[in-house]
Homo-oligomer: A and B are copies of this chain.
Amino acid sequence: MVLAGIDLGGTNIKAALVDGNLKLIAKSSIPTNAGRDARQIIADMAGQVISLADKAGLSRADISGVGIGIPGVAKDGNVIALHNLHWHNVALLRIFKEFLDVPVFIDNDGTVAAVYEYHLGVLAGCNVGVLLTLGTGIGGGIIIDGKPFSGAHGLGSELGHMTLIKDGLQCTCGNKGCFEVYASATALVRYGRQIVIERPESLLHHAAGGDYRSVTAKMVMDSAKDGDIIALRVIDDYSDCLATGIASIMNSLDPEVIALGGGVSAAGDFLLNKVIAAMDGKGVFAGQKYADIRIAKSGNDAGLIGAAMLAK
């Protein structure tokens, strides 16, 4: 059995072939060229899988199924909304099958990442598991009873848009005070830039060469790790925001494990310990067992392999 996984991003379309044991056979990446017609992009997605199969000496008939992860909302094979590409109600499944007629499965990339963690990572064995990807925004993926869960309309698991502070800072979604405004990598960069501008004595100021535009989330983390007490305070505040959002998830979905993925999670135990410390006092029932918080296994090909898993 050969499965294909596609990770459709605003910048690149990545594709991979995996075997029945989800081992990578081949992968490739091509530019999305986001301005194009949806049909052209979808043709390229299918073409990329066909090309990978050709190079591997496989025929189209060898491909048992294709899974596609998208940074947006899909329901019943249709893309309801994919803001990066300005897609609304695009019949992705139907059009894809015009080019490559195999079973096709489509889901949100946060859900795909959660599926990966459930099969090969830190959500393994969970009845209820949640993944948060801490990147440009905060993506969410939910597993319930071993299956991806995205609600009744495919709009669920948008965990980055749970409210953290009612009437707080403006979010890109149009609402205010969303979780991701305070706890994404973008938020960390915003906090870091403020330090560079206001605190020239900080290590972070020096790390950024005094230029607030060069601040990255990693730079803020690294400065804090290196003992910059100003950056450290920012990481403490950031961790407290993350812990508050996590508490809301515990009080609604009550998962066994909450996995932290995405760029910020590269900080590993340094971040994890801060978040766990910040959880203190945030549970409704003192002394009860709540979710374990863990750093996601993820890795470079998680999005591709997770997508292929949708088709398994």
Contacts and interface: CB of A to CB of B under 8 A. Distances in A.
Interface of A: 73, 80-81, 126-128, 140, 142, 144-145, 149-159, 161-166, 173-175, 182, 240-241, 244-245, 247-256, 281-286, 288-291
Copies of the protein in its oligomer:
2
B162 A165 contact: no
Given A161-B284, A254-B155, A291-B152, A166 B249 contact: no
A253 B156 contact: yes
B155 A284 contact: yes
Contact of A247 (B151, B156, B175): B175
A188 to B, nearest CB: 16
Given A161-B284, A163-B247, A251-B158, A153 B80 contact: no
B288 A151 contact: no
A140 B253 CA distance: 11
16 contacts: A73-B285, A128-B156, A142-B252, A144-B149, A150-B254, A155-B290, A158-B284, A161-B251, A161-B284, A163-B244, A166-B182, A166-B241, A166-B244, A173-B284, A174-B281, A175-B284
Contacts of A289: 153
A162 B244 CA distance: 9
A249 to B, nearest CB: 7
Contact of A253 (B127, B240, B252, B283): B252
Nearest to A285: B81
Contacts of A165: 165-166
Task: Pick the 10 closest A-B CB pairs, nearest first.
Answer: A151-B254, A156-B254, A162-B248, A158-B251, A152-B256, A161-B251, A128-B152, A173-B284, A155-B254, A81-B285
A247 B177 CA distance: 12
A80 B158 CA distance: 30
Contacts of A156: 128, 250-254
Contacts of A161: 247, 251, 284
